[in-house]
Amino acid sequence: MYETRSRQVGRGLIPFCDCPRYISMNELAKKLTSGFLVAGMALCLASVPAMAETVSQKHASKIAETFFNTAYGIHVAAPKLAWNGRQLTTDRLFTPFYVYNHPKGGFVIISAENKAFPVLGYSLDNTFSLDKLNDDVRDLLTRYARQIEIIRYDPRTPDRAVEAWQNLPDYITSVLKTPYDTPEYRELDPEEKEEIERIDRKNSWIVMPSAVEFNIYNHKDYRDYNLEDALAAEPEDVPFSFYENFIREIRNEEKMRLAAFEEVLMPAHPVLRDLGGAHFVVDLPEDARMLRVYGIDGSRKLEKYYSDTASVSIDISSLPVGYYVAMILTDSGHVYGLKLYRI
49: pLDDT confidence band, cut at 50, 70 and 90?
very low
pLDDT of residue 275: 87
Average confidence (pLDDT) over 211-236: 60
The residue that leads in pLDDT, 241 or 309, is: 309
pLDDT of residue 194: 92
pLDDT of residue 237: 59
Model confidence over 242-299: pLDDT tens digits? 556 666 666 666 677 666 655 545 556 788 888 888 899 998 888 899 999 998 878 8
C-alpha torsion 242→246→247→251, nearest 10: 150
336: pLDDT confidence band, cut at 50, 70 and 90?
confident
Edge-to-edge strand order for the sheet containing 107-111?
80-83, 97-101, 107-111, 119-123, 206-207
% of residues, the chain, pLDDT over 70: 69
pLDDT of residue 60: 96
Model confidence over 11-27: pLDDT tens digits? 232 232 333 333 333 44
Predicted structure pTM score: 0.55
Average confidence (pLDDT) over 104-123: 95
335: pLDDT confidence band, cut at 50, 70 and 90?
confident
Angle, helices 240-265/135-151, rounded to nearest 10 degrees: 80
The alpha carbon of 207 is separated from its chain's Cα centroid by a whole number of angstroms, namely 25
Indicate the average pLDDT of the chain. 76
pLDDT of residue 181: 92
Q: Give which of 176, 307, 323, 151 is closest to 244, Cα–Cα.
A: 151
The residue that leads in pLDDT, 36 or 254, is: 254
The residue that leads in pLDDT, 93 or 140, is: 140
62: pLDDT confidence band, cut at 50, 70 and 90?
very high
Average confidence (pLDDT) over 57-78: 92
pLDDT of residue 12: 30
71: pLDDT confidence band, cut at 50, 70 and 90?
very high
pLDDT of residue 15: 31
Q: What are phi and psi of 2, to 5 degrees?
A: -110, 125
